[in-house]
Structures are given as C-alpha cells and as structure tokens.
Chains A and B, each alone.
Chain A
Amino acid sequence: MHLAYPAVLAVLLFCTGLYGVLARRNAILVLMSVELMLNAVNLNLVAFDVWLRDTLHAGQALTLFTIAIAAAEIGIGLAIVLMVYRNRGTADIDRLRDNAETPGGDEADHEQTGKKAEATA
C-alpha cells in the first residue's frame, strides 16, 4: 500500500478537526474536534510504524498511550466544561471573554454581567 494514502487521510482528518476547533461554538463540539485531530495523528503513527517495521513498535505503543491520554483529557475537559457551564450558564466558547481588553474595567464588568444575564434568560 502506498504510504501516501494513510498520510493524506491523516492530514485531511487533522485539518477537519482543526476547522472544528476553530469554528465550533459549543465547547463539547470543540472537544469532539480535538478527538478527530488526535485520531488523525494516531493513524499517522500506525501507518509509519507499519511502514518502518519497527522492532520496538514505538508507533503502536505511542498510539496506545495517546488513546489513554485522550481518554483522560476528555474526562478532565468535560469536567471543566461542566463547571464552566454551572458557573456561567453557558458552554459557548466565544462568550467566555474574561481575558478581553475593554476600555475601562467597570464597563467590562457591566458587559460581563449583562451577557451573563442575557445567557441565563
């Protein structure tokens, strides 16, 4: 099999996930896109491991580890999203703008509270 097939598939999957991370509004959808990106990497790892016929099978081992770490990441990520949702009433990433630079601190607070009220309403 040509190595180009799995490699290009991995690239396309990765970029699809990338688009999802950048474009999706719901935090959980963003997490899904992250999973897509991880899987693209895994596919790459496996393909190259098979191609190289590595005696240690480092690629496959790393894939397994990545899967485990991805599972841990998704757990922690979901916990964080849940907490944010509980505190803010929303899981929309573009509404979580505490780091935004606004002219004057008071206005920022008003804006924030206003948006929160809007979100809960």
Chain B
Amino acid sequence: MTSVLSLAGPAGPGFLSPTGTEIAFLLVGVVTLAAAVVTVTTRQLVHAALWLVVALGGIAVEYLLLTAEFIAWVQVLIYVGSVVVLLLFGLMLTKAPIGRSPDADSGNRPAALVVAAAAAAALVWVVVDAFRTTWIDLDGPAQGTTRVSGEMLFRNWVLPFEALSVLLLAALVGAIVLSRKGDEDAEGKR
C-alpha cells in the first residue's frame, strides 16, 4: 500500500491529501484484506469461516462508501447471512475438525504462494499504471440507492433477471438431487 501511496499523479487531487471518504475506505480496506489473509491461512477451519464473515462485511462497507447501498445490503444479506452459514454447515457435515488442524494447507502451498504473489505484482503494477490519475466523483446523487437499483433492474435488466431465477431454480433442484443419499433412504430422510 505504501508503494501505491507514493505514486502521486499530476492530475486530480494528490494521494498525500486524502479526503475523509478515502481514509475510511483505506482503513476498512486494510481490515478487509487482513481478514481475507487470515481466512486463507488460518489452521482452524471454523475460524476461517468466521474471518470470511469479517472480510465480506468489510466489502459491504466498501460498497457503502462507493455509494452502492443496495448492493451493500444484498451483500450482507446473501453472503454474510446465508453463504457463510452454508459453508459452516458444510464444514460440520464433512466432520471438519474443531481446533487447529496441522494439515489445513496442501503440499502445493509454495507454488500457490509464488503464483499468487506473481499475479498480485503483475495486476497491481498494471492497475496502478493505468488508473493512478483517475478520480471517482462521488458527489451528486447516490448511484446505488434502492430506488435507482430497482429502476435499472426492472427497466433494463428484466430478461437476465428472469433467466437468473431459472438458473437459481436449476441450482436448487441440482443441489437437492446431489445431496440425496440414495433412493432407499430418501423416503426416510423426507
């Protein structure tokens, strides 16, 4: 982050004189990133799920700071509310050990580290190189209020929206079919 901060562009407000929103964004971003790193490195599987809640919540806050409030609430509802719960259920159903498990990481870890670091370096370099002078104007009417989102969704994106509902239905059916234990004890389970 420090290297990014030092890259002050000539146009727009400089990085050395941040606005309040930017400071808040940076702080929340640091927390989010830290939570994400802990999620992928911790040896306690359940803790990983809980740290994931922190990371996803942090992203929701970032959405709010970017004035996309509807998406922020959706994020909280769906991710924090249901996806993480689902993951926790999954952990329990697969008898994941509670507490520290020494083999949470596979033998592929060094390779993963190298690939991730290389990808991060390359992407950060490219992104910073491309957008260091770009300024988002957050003033004016909020762009992600529920009203705005509803209008754009049901005016312009109705067809994909409906198609998505069919996809969700298919996923629902598929998940049920996959997780059934078998024909003979399917009756007993219902």
Contacts and interface: CB of A to CB of B under 8 A. Distances in A.
B26 A32 contact: no
Interface residues of A, number: 71
Dominant secondary structure of chain B at its interface with chain A: helix
Contacts of B56: 35, 39
A9 B81 CA distance: 23
Given A11-B120, A57-B152, A76-B175, A43 B62 contact: yes
A22 B138 CA distance: 37
A23 B109 contact: yes
A60 B33 contact: no
B98 interface: no
Given A61-B152, A65-B160, A28 B90 contact: yes
Contacts of B95: 85
Interface in B99-136: 103-109, 111-113, 115-117, 119-120, 123-124, 127-128, 131-132, 134-136
A81 B94 CA distance: 8
Interface stretch (A86-94, A101-109, A110-118): A86-94
Interface string B139-180: 000011000110011001100110010011011101110110
B189 interface: no
B131 A3 contact: yes
Contacts of A51: 134, 136
Interface string A73-100: 1111011111101100001111000000
B106 A24 contact: yes
Interface of A: 1-9, 11-29, 31-33, 35-36, 39, 42-43, 46-47, 49-51, 53, 56-57, 60-61, 63-65, 67-76, 78-83, 85-86, 91-94
Interface of B: 1, 4, 7, 12, 15, 19, 21-22, 25-26, 29, 32-33, 36-37, 39-40, 45, 48-49, 52, 55-56, 59, 62-63, 65-68, 70-71, 74-75, 78-79, 82-83, 86-87, 89-91, 93-96, 103-109, 111-113, 115-117, 119-120, 123-124, 127-128, 131-132, 134-138, 143-144, 148-149, 152-153, 156-157, 160-161, 164, 167-168, 170-172, 174-176, 178-179, 181
Given A2-B12, A2-B15, 15 more contacts: A1-B25, A2-B136, A16-B40, A16-B116, A22-B108, A23-B106, A24-B105, A35-B83, A36-B40, A42-B71, A61-B157, A71-B83, A72-B171, A79-B175, A82-B90
